[in-house]
Each structure stands twice: as C-alpha cells, then as structure tokens.
Amino acid sequence: MKEKAFAKLNISLDVSRARDDGYHDLKMIMQSVTFCDEVDVNLNESGIFSARTNLAYVPSDDKNLAVKAAKVILGGSGQGAEITIDKKIPVGAGMAGGSADAAAVLRAVNRLLGNRYSLEELARLGERVGSDVPYCVINGTALAEGRGEILTPLNDFPDCEIVICKPSFAISTPELFKAIDRVKIRAHPDTEGIIEAVGRGDLREICRRMYNTFEEVDDHRMRTVTEIKKTLIRSGAMGAIMTGTGSAVFGIFEPGSDVLPIAENLKKEYGFAVTAKPENKSEL
Ligand code: C5P
C-alpha cells in the first residue's frame, strides 16, 4: 500500500511555556506541501517490523518513527509490516519528515485494515508516536496547540508558490527546545491574525505575519537562516521564515511566479532547495 508523506511547514510557531513533563506548550499554524516522501507498506503474518530507506543513516528499527507507528496500529494483532521509504524530505530540517512517514504508515495500514479507524482516531494513535504525527495524519492547514496534538483544521491555504531551502547543517529538535528556555522571547506571532487572514484567503496578510519564535535562539546557525531569508525576500518572496526548529527556511511567492530558478540558485549555494505548493487535507 503506497502513501505519500507530505512535508510540513510552520506558517507560524509560538512557544508559550516549558511544561513539567519535558514538553513545551506551542501554538503553531501548520501547512503541508506537495513535496513528499513515498512510503510503501506491506503487512506480513510473521510479526516482524522493518523499514528500509534510500538513505543509509536513517534507522531501520524502532528508532524510525515509521516502525513505531506500525507497531502502535498493529500491536497485539500478530501481524508485522515491511516498510519501504523513498526519503526526499531532509532530516533535521523542521519539516516533520519522520513524523510524516509515521503518519503515512498509519494511513496505509488503516486502508489495508479496511479503514478500521477514522482520521480522528488515527491522529490519536499518532500521539503515541510523536508530537507532530497527529497533524501529519490529517495534513492541510491547521492550528496545532498543546505539544502539537490539539488540532483545529483551518480553511485551505491560498494558492501560492513555495521555495524551501535547507543549509548543509541539521538542527536537533530537543536541542533547540532546550535553547529556547534560555531566551527572553522578544516577539510572538499574531496567531489569531494569521487565522483570520487564512479564513479570508489573504496571502499578503499571511506573509506579513509569518513568524517563528525559534529564530530568536542565540545560535550562530541562525545567521545562515537569516541569510537565506534575505535571499528569498530579495528574490521576490512575500514572506520567509524558518520552519519548526530548523534548519530549513522557506519563502512564499505569488501564484504563478517563476520560482524554479530561485530554488536552483539556492541549491547551488546551500546544497538543498526545492519548489512546492500547498497540499490540502487528507481524506480516508
Ligand atoms: O514528541 P516528540 O518525540 O517528537 O518530541 C521530541 C522532543 O522535542 C521532546 O522530547 C522534547 O524535548 C521536544 N518537544 C518539546 N515540546 C513539544 C514537542 C517536542 O519540548 N511540544
């Protein structure tokens, strides 16, 4: 059973507070994009779980969120799963690649089980795999709160062109969450303002308000993030920010803009850059 695992971008990311359970309360506007991994799942009766990918450094055992997801949905049934992932979403980019693969496994296995679970139930299963997995189950445009698992679907994102660029370094999510605790946060995104702008389909207003609190972390790598943002804006982006805990940065352009040359230039300079479009909600 083949399933696409769409990359996620943060249109906004607000860190509210560190919690006692080791997580942080967040408020994020999430958007999935057409750029994706391809996941293929085959069930077996041997009860063995495995994952194979085109990248040598991606784990094939329980450390791979896709395997964890298969175990969560099939646990106790005696069935196992053989998962093949064609990975295109870079690791350590803030694009929820691992979570998207896990969510794709949940959707694929669910289909193989004759849609035993609703999308909502699948999202709840995803919570046990990782904070971003419930969102990656439903995709589209959504407000994510709590540790990321409390979801409110929003209107579809207005049509636009997107350029995503990742510098050669990755950023570890737990590391940046620790670093943000040492920062006196200067500004918070106007989440409500973005929700209203999404409701009206007002791309210019969305782009004006895009903001990621994690960019305030005092880390030399943020200089490269700023550099990429500036290049995107100079190239005509209406807005550009880092996604999640980075290191990928994206810019949003008017629909119909010729963004391919912009991505090609960024790729030459930083090693990874692609174009994408907004991806709408998943359906069963
Ligand atoms: O939920 P997940 O396993 O993806 O989270 C990985 C790590 O990221 C957590 O262990 C925690 O350090 C950090 N995190 C956080 N607050 C969140 C989500 C993740 O502090 N809302």
What pLDDT sits at residue 280? 92
Q: What is the mean pLDDT of residues 44-65?
A: 93
What pLDDT sits at residue 61? 87
Cα–Cα distances in angstroms (integers) from residue 68 to residues 16, 24, 36, 124, 165, in the given order: 28, 22, 20, 14, 29
* Backbone dihedral angles phi then psi of residue 135, each to the nearest 5 degrees: -60, -45
Distance 201 CA to ligand 1 centre (A): 31
Name which residue sits closest to atom 14 of ligand 1, judged by CA: 23
Determine the atom of ligand 1 nearest the C-alpha atom of 148.
21
Q: What is the mean pLDDT of residues 140-162?
A: 97
The verdict on pTM exceeding 0.75 is yes
pLDDT, averaged across the chain: 96
Q: What is the mean pLDDT of residues 91-97?
A: 97
What pLDDT sits at residue 76? 87
Paired sense of beta strands 2-18 and 24-44, if any: antiparallel
Determine the atom of ligand 1 nearest the C-alpha atom of 99.
4
62 has pLDDT over 90: no
Which residues lie with the beta carbon below 6 Å from any ligand 1 atom?
22-24, 26, 130-132, 147-148, 173-174, 177
Express each pLDDT in 4-48 by its tens digit. 999 999 999 999 989 999 999 999 999 999 999 999 999 999 999
227 has pLDDT over 90: yes
What pLDDT sits at residue 60? 87
What pLDDT sits at residue 179? 94
282 has pLDDT over 90: no
Q: What is the mean pLDDT of residues 144-167?
A: 97
What pLDDT sits at residue 283? 83
- What's the rounded Cα separation, in Å, for the pair 146 and 124? 14
Distance 23 CA to ligand 1 centre (A): 5
Name which residue sits closest to atom 20 of ligand 1, judged by CA: 23
What pLDDT sits at residue 1? 95
